[in-house]
């Protein structure tokens, strides 16, 4: 067993160092989503210049998520087995450069390729960042800190949409890609100089001999068993996909919906849409805080909370698109902006709770594959497909039912959580030498 004498009050580093790394992780996640979603406010300009359909516009979002699906798992293995800081720094450089390259695209195919490279760069960031936060902070604060970290997603999404709309109106859509790419390059450089933790050996405990614990290295079959025999984890993966099917569709198409339904300029529609996304800053840490509080009374609270918040989200958005319009509808959108992300922090914490400490990035990478393959990559293009055949309101109403399925899967997973948690190997981690 590895011994760790570096922890003080549950922190691997000092609080100041831990929160400095956390700040860099927050900024990179924010720039990740700025670069990922700046394109959605550029749809009208791309349609005008290149004659794109709504399906093609949706594809420009989906292609990022398909790249993440294909590359997340191998990159996460690199993170778990090599280096967190180097992997994350290199990924941030790649996605920032790819975003800048979008400014030089000459046609739809060129832009699709550049957007795909953004996804390659972003493939392992969420798993790597989640693994670092899980190690740097005490377990009792895990969901809340992950919630605060994930609030960078709506912040980045809102800034990406708002900045894209503003820059495109005043300077052009190509300049929008170029300008948002620059900050990520700077923060990526800073990440190479932080202090990382040592790679955790993949060891497992066996039966004791003469009261002495016996350990051995995990093989591929052991690793596969770690995931396949953890039902709470598998149901969490599927539940995540049900929610991201909706949230990515809303992120991608709400500005267009407001543009068409209220006859707003794209600049104003992007601003109103970005406010809805921005309110998820409240929902993400609030969800983590409430789940951690509930955890003191209910052992499987993290998944129970995810189930409850998913159902609430479905009710809010179905009601908004089906029964309301105008200011009342927009108030429901704002409320949905808070609730839609509330599930994530506690669900992500589960992907770290019930696995071997040396497989945390890999665990969340599998979650990323599920949520992107079945959720984020399908939502925008499905919405565009239905919109082309009916209208954008019908499309967004249909996708609003998906969190109901998510809630069911989270609830089923909660029934296995305590048993799965009891099986986890207790292995400490320590810092790399300077």
The encoded tokens of residue 301 equal 């609270």
Q: How much is the mean pLDDT over the chain?
A: 86
Q: Give the number of other Cβ atoms within 10 Å of residue 121's Cβ.
A: 27
Judged against a pLDDT cut of 80, whether residue 428 lies above it is answered with no
Judged against a pLDDT cut of 70, whether residue 433 lies above it is answered with no
Provide the residue ranges of all domains of the chain, joining segments of one domain with +: 15-197+230-422
DSSP state string for 91-141: HHHHHHHHHHHHTT--SHHHHHHHHHHHHHHHTTHHHHHHHHHHHHS-GGG
Place of tokens 């990022």: 64
| CA distances (Å), origin 279, targets 44, 48, 304, 376 | 25, 31, 23, 20
Supply the pLDDT for residue 427: 62
**Per residue in 76-126, pLDDT tens?**
888 777 778 888 889 999 999 999 999 999 999 999 999 999 998 888 888
**Per residue in 230-252, pLDDT tens?**
999 999 999 999 999 999 899 88
d(CA 276, CA 273): 5
Q: If pLDDT is split at 50, 70 and 90, which confidence band does 390 have? A: very high
**Per residue in 27-51, pLDDT tens?**
999 999 999 989 988 988 999 999 9
Supply the pLDDT for residue 292: 85
Q: Compare 250 and 15 and report the one with higher pLDDT.
A: 250
- The burial of 238, by beta-carbon neighbours within 10 Å (0-12 exposed, 13-18 middle, 19 or more buried), is given as buried
| CA distances (Å), origin 173, targets 38, 45, 257, 382 | 10, 7, 20, 25
Best mean pLDDT range from 49-53, 159-163, 423-427: 49-53
Supply the pLDDT for residue 8: 43
E strand or H helix at 81: helix 54-81
Closest of 416, 389, 285, 409 to residue 342, by C-alpha: 285
**Per residue in 177-201, pLDDT tens?**
999 999 988 999 998 887 776 766 6
Closest of 185, 57, 183 to residue 121, by C-alpha: 185
CB burial string 157-193: b at 16+ within 10 A, e below: bbbbbbbbbebbbeeebbebbbbbbebbbebbeebee
Q: How much of the chain exceeds pLDDT 70, in percent? A: 90
15-197+230-422: CATH topology: Growth Hormone; Chain: A; (1.20.1250)
């Amino acid at each position: 067993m590895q011994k760790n004498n570096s922890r003080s009050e549950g922190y691997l580093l000092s609080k100041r160092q831990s929160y400095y790394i956390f700040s860099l992780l927050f900024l990179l996640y924010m720039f990740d989503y700025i670069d990922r979603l700046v394109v959605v406010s550029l749809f009208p300009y791309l349609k005008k210049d290149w004659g794109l359909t709504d399906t093609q516009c949706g594809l420009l979002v989906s292609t990022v998520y398909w790249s993440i699906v294909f590359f997340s798992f191998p990159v996460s293995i690199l993170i778990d087995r090599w280096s967190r800081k180097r992997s994350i720094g290199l990924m941030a450089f790649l996605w920032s450069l790819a975003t800048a390259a979008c400014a030089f695209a000459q046609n739809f195919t060129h832009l699709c390729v550049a957007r795909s490279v953004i996804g390659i760069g972003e493939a392992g960031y969420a798993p790597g960042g989640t693994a670092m936060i899980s190690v740097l902070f005490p377990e009792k604060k895990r969901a809340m800190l992950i919630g605060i970290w994930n609030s960078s997603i709506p912040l980045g999404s809102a800034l990406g949409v708002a900045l894209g709309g503003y820059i495109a109106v005043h300077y052009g859509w190509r300049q929008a890609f170029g300008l948002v790419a620059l900050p990520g390059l700077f923060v990526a450089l800073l990440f190479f100089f932080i202090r990382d933790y040592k790679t955790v050996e993949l060891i497992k405990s066996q039966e004791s001999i003469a009261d002495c614990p016996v350990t051995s290295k995990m093989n591929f079959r052991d690793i596969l068993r770690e995931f396949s025999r953890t039902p709470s984890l598998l149901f969490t993966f599927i539940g995540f996909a049900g929610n991201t099917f909706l949230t990515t569709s809303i992120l991608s198409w709400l500005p267009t919906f407001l543009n068409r339904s209220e006859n707003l300029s794209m600049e104003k529609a992007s601003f109103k849409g970005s406010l809805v996304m921005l309110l998820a800053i409240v929902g993400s840490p609030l969800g983590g805080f409430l789940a951690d509080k509930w955890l003191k009374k209910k052992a499987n609270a993290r998944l129970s909370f995810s189930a409850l918040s998913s159902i609430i989200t479905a009710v809010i958005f179905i009601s908004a698109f089906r029964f309301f319009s105008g200011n009342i509808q927009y108030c429901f959108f704002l409320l949905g902006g808070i609730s839609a992300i509330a599930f994530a922090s506690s669900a992500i914490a589960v992907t770290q709770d019930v696995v071997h400490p040396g497989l945390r990035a890999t665990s969340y990478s599998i979650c990323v594959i599920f949520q992107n393959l079945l959720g984020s990559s399908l939502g925008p293009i499905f919405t565009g497909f239905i919109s082309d055949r009916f209208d954008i309101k019908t499309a967004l109403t249909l996708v609003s039912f998906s969190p109901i399925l998510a809630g069911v899967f989270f609830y089923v997973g909660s029934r296995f959580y305590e048993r799965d948690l009891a099986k986890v190997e207790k292995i400490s981690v320590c810092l790399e030498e300077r």
